Chain A
């Protein structure tokens, strides 16, 4: 890295099922203005904007980055659009970070969003094609068979997913921005919810949300200026990586994809992490369906293959008493503005490292992992943020 990169400001909207009071432009601007204020900068201090969202068909607005340029103060400035399906929020932040580390810009605004109330993502994910049967019932229908495969392979107890569903919703109660606040969430409530995609219950799936996330990334000099102006410390990018793999190839491991394992290995090597469970203080990981917590615990090397469910069952991933809390914000299971969901993972670890996470803050965070995945588990994006300069 030619330049160091830091997160110097973050902003997000309150995630809700409908934001009738704003258009897409209003939604992204709200998150962006919060990020600028958090960084102690104004629109004129931004050199470039990097925008991400899930496929355009979700809202039916093609290339929305063009129409959103004025709302994001990008008129006359470089604007980039990033496309990596559900992982896009993470990939978008990484593209922005590269513009800093490459020495091209001093401050980059990166934004991601989804306005699911303007759209029908379930339909957009289930469009009939001549070479496949019209069976795919949204993302849940795609991932549920792979969850069943994980259950068979690992021998995990049936309630593992429900434990995650409860844990993440309890943690969401400490996050005022989270979409779902279910104070009386319980195993019984999850178990009694409708079985949407057997083996997945309704309450083991993410909600549909309107929401946006934004971050201001800056160079070392920009970070020093922001800290002087706001008194808030920067979160340093200690490692970042993206990997992808084809959706369909013979011998593909859909439960524990190689692209995810390779991506984690790369980001840990950059950040000097040898044992993720010990060396990291918390993680925000893309878990849109409950069982992806134990699956990604294994994929990300927090335990041996086949042992992910044991960490969940032991409570290791809980904010309350766990040694490696996952998704203290409530995670994707509690807020899912799809395009922004990955960036929220990246943003939440910035909050943790800066000590700005409020009620869901983990004590003494020095290093944390943000992860996003997308498509048919074929796109992965990760970064490790820390209190120390890399």
Chain B
């Protein structure tokens, strides 16, 4: 509410020009069949994707159809807990609603067996040691805290394997 009035040198309050008005909007998110399977998989501590019957690419999270071929993706695939950091940035900017302490690594993680990367947090390594091609694994919250949300994955951490060769992930950039 810092903008509601300005203090002048004489201590008098100037005209009100802005009013910060907190509002909230609650809505129900209908995930659909494919994303429901993905979200329920997360509640069981696993990544569930879907394979396109035409191009055989594996999507995670699956949206229920292949954007390239325009067909339903019905073939389910349980993916590895490990993957490769294809690219990343180090976030060092605060913003309203932020839940993670800065600086943190926001990476694109390509799970083994998937053909699409998704955004993941990298921890247990100094930010300046993260690299493209780094091999990582998902760290899940305790079983009793698992739920149908990607918040079930606490973060990804280095899995100890040597870095992936650039040629193996360059087409996912």
Contact of A197 among B38, B91, B153 (CB under 8 A): B91
Contacts of A126 in B (CB 8 A): 95, 97-98
Cβ proximity bits A137-178 to B, threshold 8 Å, 1 near / 0 not = 110110011111100110000000000000000000000000
| Contact of A123 with B166 in the complex, beta carbons under 8 Å | no
A-B CB contacts (within 8 Å), total count: 131
Cβ proximity bits B89-118 to A, threshold 8 Å, 1 near / 0 not = 111110111111001101110000001101
| Contact of A130 with B29 in the complex, beta carbons under 8 Å | yes
Q: Is B170 in contact with chain A by the CB < 8 A criterion? A: yes
Q: Is B124 in contact with chain A by the CB < 8 A criterion? A: no
Count residues on chain B whose CB falls below 8 Å from chain A CBs.
54
Q: Please, how many angstroms separate the alpha-carbon atoms of A154 and B90 in the complex?
A: 21
| Contact of B89 with A133 in the complex, beta carbons under 8 Å | no
Interface-centre pick from B57, B63, B97, B100 (highest chain A CB count, 10 A): B97
| Contact of A251 with B31 in the complex, beta carbons under 8 Å | no
Q: Is B149 in contact with chain A by the CB < 8 A criterion? A: yes
| Contact of B87 with A145 in the complex, beta carbons under 8 Å | yes
Q: Please, how many angstroms separate the alpha-carbon atoms of A147 and B89 in the complex?
A: 9
The smallest beta-carbon distance between B11 and chain A, in angstroms, is: 22
The smallest beta-carbon distance between B126 and chain A, in angstroms, is: 13
Q: Please, how many angstroms separate the alpha-carbon atoms of A357 and B39 in the complex?
A: 54
Contacts of A195 in B (CB 8 A): 90, 92
Q: Please, how many angstroms separate the alpha-carbon atoms of A200 and B61 in the complex?
A: 28
Contacts of A120 in B (CB 8 A): 96
Chain A residue at minimal CB-CB distance from B18: A20
| Contact of A140 with B86 in the complex, beta carbons under 8 Å | no
Given contacts A148-B88, A246-B67, A141 and B29 within 8 Å (CB-CB): no
Q: Please, how many angstroms separate the alpha-carbon atoms of A89 and B35 in the complex?
A: 33
Count residues on chain A whose CB falls below 8 Å from chain B CBs.
43
Given contacts A153-B170, A248-B116, A255-B173, A196 and B93 within 8 Å (CB-CB): yes
The smallest beta-carbon distance between B26 and chain A, in angstroms, is: 12
The smallest beta-carbon distance between A369 and chain B, in angstroms, is: 26
Contact of A198 among B29, B89, B120, B173 (CB under 8 A): B89
Q: Is B121 in contact with chain A by the CB < 8 A criterion? A: yes
| Contact of A133 with B97 in the complex, beta carbons under 8 Å | no
| Contact of B92 with A194 in the complex, beta carbons under 8 Å | yes
Interface-centre pick from B29, B93, B121 (highest chain A CB count, 10 A): B93
| Contact of A152 with B132 in the complex, beta carbons under 8 Å | yes
Chain A residue at minimal CB-CB distance from B52: A250
Contacts of A123 in B (CB 8 A): 95-97
Q: Please, how many angstroms separate the alpha-carbon atoms of A250 and B69 in the complex?
A: 11
| Contact of B89 with A138 in the complex, beta carbons under 8 Å | no
Contact of B91 among A131, A137, A147, A255 (CB under 8 A): A137
Contacts of B29 in A (CB 8 A): 129-130
| Contact of B92 with A198 in the complex, beta carbons under 8 Å | yes
| Contact of B90 with A145 in the complex, beta carbons under 8 Å | no
Cβ proximity bits A112-129 to B, threshold 8 Å, 1 near / 0 not = 000000001011001111
Q: Is B2 in contact with chain A by the CB < 8 A criterion? A: no
Given contacts A132-B118, A132-B119, A197 and B92 within 8 Å (CB-CB): yes
Q: Is A134 in contact with chain B by the CB < 8 A criterion? A: yes
| Contact of A135 with B93 in the complex, beta carbons under 8 Å | no
Q: Please, how many angstroms separate the alpha-carbon atoms of A148 and B154 in the complex?
A: 25
The smallest beta-carbon distance between B101 and chain A, in angstroms, is: 12
Given contacts A137-B106, A138-B95, A20 and B17 within 8 Å (CB-CB): yes
A residues apposed to B, CB below 8 Å = 20, 60, 120, 122-123, 126-138, 140-141, 144-149, 152-153, 194-200, 246, 248-251, 253-255
B residues apposed to A, CB below 8 Å = 17-18, 23, 29, 31, 35, 38-39, 52, 55, 57-59, 61, 63, 66-68, 86-93, 95-100, 103-104, 106-108, 115-116, 118-121, 127, 132, 148-151, 153, 166, 170-171, 173
